[in-house]
Structure 1
Amino acid sequence: MKALILSDLHSNIKALEAILHEETDCDVIYCAGDFVDVGPCPNEIIEFSIKNKIKAVLGNHDQKIIDYYFNEMNSNSIIPEERLWYQHNASIIDKSNLDYLNQLPNTLTFELDGILYGMIHMYINYDVILGPFAYQKFINDNFEGNSKIERLIFGHTHRQGVCYVDGKKMWLNPGSIAYRTYLEPDDKSRMAEYMTISNGDIEFKKCNYDYESAAKDIINCVGQVSIKDIQRSYERIITEDNFDQKMLSVKTN
């Protein structure tokens, strides 16, 4: 069996379509959350996910859009640049697609080729994977003590990675299909990141997509989303021509 593992889609439909074009032989698709926010196409992402029967968990940005939609978030506590993205996605998302996000579980357990996996969007620490005791405690706290879980899949950091914890136990992060930001200055790639698992073998992959078309979609959000935040989040594919005149253009290399 071949599984496609995604995370942090962030309303980037162009990248998602490119990955599915590359990985046509997948039997099942999983996503570690963050379908929406910080991107122009929340409806398209969710509808694509429903159509392709993607099995998923809820991400923190998914929850933020839900909260913002139902006015359950204190907008004054959010920095203006982030608030504008929330406003954009929450204002255009269909109620049926919001309902899809709202029913996603926080955790997921599944078996592939005799190996038991756990999936959750965020780990307790952004940068450090702790030792075997903390690993098992995390499973006990979040997966009802399912001690047979051998591999934990996370998202959130937008960084591909694997960490062997103890014996067969490991932590896995497929990376983000959407973007690398100013928070990751050492990562110069603008490719969509993902992971496949075939017969228990893990492979980290990257895929080019139509950056120009994606960038134009993002630029068209101007007016609802700030110029600064667009360029900050998508600096790998958009360059700033003239900030004073609010002009952005697509990077060609």
Structure 2
Amino acid sequence: MRVGLISDVHANRPALEAVLEDMPDVDAVVHAGDVVGYGPFPSAVIELFRENDVVSIQGNHDRGVLGDFHDNFHEIPKSAALWTTDRLTDDELAYIESLPVERDLYGGKVKVVHGAPDKPNTYTYPEDFSADLLGEESVLVVGHTHVQAKSAFDAGVVVNPGSVGLPRDGDWRAGYAVLDVESATVDLRRVEYPKAETQAKVDEHGLPEALIDGLEHGELVFGRAKRSVTDSVE
């Protein structure tokens, strides 16, 4: 069984469309949280998730759109979340609310979390990947950092497929991965998309200007070191 892994789409429709078009034939697409927040196409992205039967969990931005802001939620993502809330229908907000915080899939072989197991707002950077993160699953999928990486251990694999909508690892291209569930092997991939379309809509809607530069360079840091796991920003 092959599964497309995505994360942190952040309401970036052109990036999601490019990933879905570039992705090889898979049996399912699984998303590690943050369907919306930041980006200018929240309704269109929710529609694409539904049309493509994307299996998703909630990210911290999704909870922010529902009014649940964790400690130290930065003003830039908070303003984008409030903008998003005002534009989603009750049905779309109910969809976001229906998403679980974690999922165990494929007979327990794959676990999907946003930050870390039982710690949804914790940043798990590549240097934090370890066998200790793994439970009974053979593949742990994380998101939240927007940094694409994978590490294999005797106990299994930890993978962040990277951010579709707002990469933060210095590569602006949309990130995703393809997982072979049986062999627990992961192929990391990147694909270009028409970022200028997203940037123009960010500007048109008056969303935070920092997002335009972040989309351009694949980096978005709000006055803090990327490595920090104590600052709960996005």
Is the TM value for this pair above 0.5? yes
C-alpha contact 2:129 2:151 (8 A) present in aligned 1 = no
Which residue is equivalent to 1:88? 83
- TM-score, reference length from structure 2: 0.80
Query: Which of residues 117, 120, 145 in structure 1 aligns to 2:113?
Result: 120
Task: Read off the aligned partner of 1:39 and give its amino acid letter.
Answer: G
C-alpha contact 1:122 1:154 (8 A) present in aligned 2 = yes
Distance 1:44 1:2, change over 3 A: same
Distance 1:188 1:5 in 2: 20
Deviation at 1:50, TM superposition (A): 0.9
Distance 2:75 2:159 in 1: 33
Deviation at 1:19, TM superposition (A): 1.1
Which residue is equivalent to 1:129? 128
1:100-179 aligned within 5 A: 100-111=95-106, 116-123=109-116, 124=119, 126=123, 127=125, 128-129=127-128, 131-132=130-131, 134-136=132-134, 139=135, 147=136, 149-165=137-153, 167-179=154-166
Query: Which of residues 190, 194, 211 in structure 1 aligns to 2:195?
Result: 211
Deviation at 1:9, TM superposition (A): 0.2
Distance 1:81 1:90 in 2: 15
Distance 2:73 2:58 in 1: 20
Count of matched residue pairs = 211
**Structure 1 unaligned regions, length at least 5:** 140-146, 182-186, 238-253
Distance 1:111 1:82 in 2: 33
Deviation at 1:31, TM superposition (A): 0.4
Distance 1:24 1:235, change over 3 A: closer
Deviation at 1:89, TM superposition (A): 0.7
Deviation at 1:192, TM superposition (A): 0.3
**Structure 2 unaligned regions, length at least 5:** 219-234
Question: How much is the aligned-residue C-alpha RMSD, in angstroms?
Answer: 2.5
Distance 1:74 1:153, change over 3 A: closer
Which residue is equivalent to 1:11? 11
Deviation at 1:135, TM superposition (A): 2.6
1:186-242 superposed Cα distances (whole Å, 9 cap, x missing partner):
x432100000123533110001111222221222122xx233x333532428xxxxx
Query: Which protein has the larger Cα radius of gyration, Structure 1 or Structure 2?
Result: 1
Distance 1:22 1:79, change over 3 A: closer
- TM-score, reference length from structure 1: 0.75
Task: Read off the aligned partner of 1:217 and give its amino acid letter.
Answer: K
Which residue is equivalent to 1:143? none
Query: Which of residues 233, 240, 246 in structure 1 aligns to 2:214?
Result: 233
Task: Read off the aligned partner of 1:90 and give its amino acid letter.
Answer: T
Identity %: 22
Distance 1:29 1:73, change over 3 A: closer
Task: Read off the aligned partner of 1:111 and give its amino acid letter.
Answer: Y
Structure (1 or 2) with the greater strand fraction: 1
Which residue is equivalent to 1:42? 42
C-alpha contact 2:15 2:193 (8 A) present in aligned 1 = yes
Distance 1:105 1:171 in 2: 20
Deviation at 1:129, TM superposition (A): 2.7
Distance 1:179 1:111 in 2: 28
Task: Read off the aligned partner of 1:169 and give its amino acid letter.
Answer: G
1:52-91 aligned within 5 A: 52-67=52-67, 79-91=74-86
Off by >6 Å, runs of 4+ in structure 1: none
Task: Read off the aligned partner of 1:5 and give its amino acid letter.
Answer: L
C-alpha contact 1:129 1:163 (8 A) present in aligned 2 = no
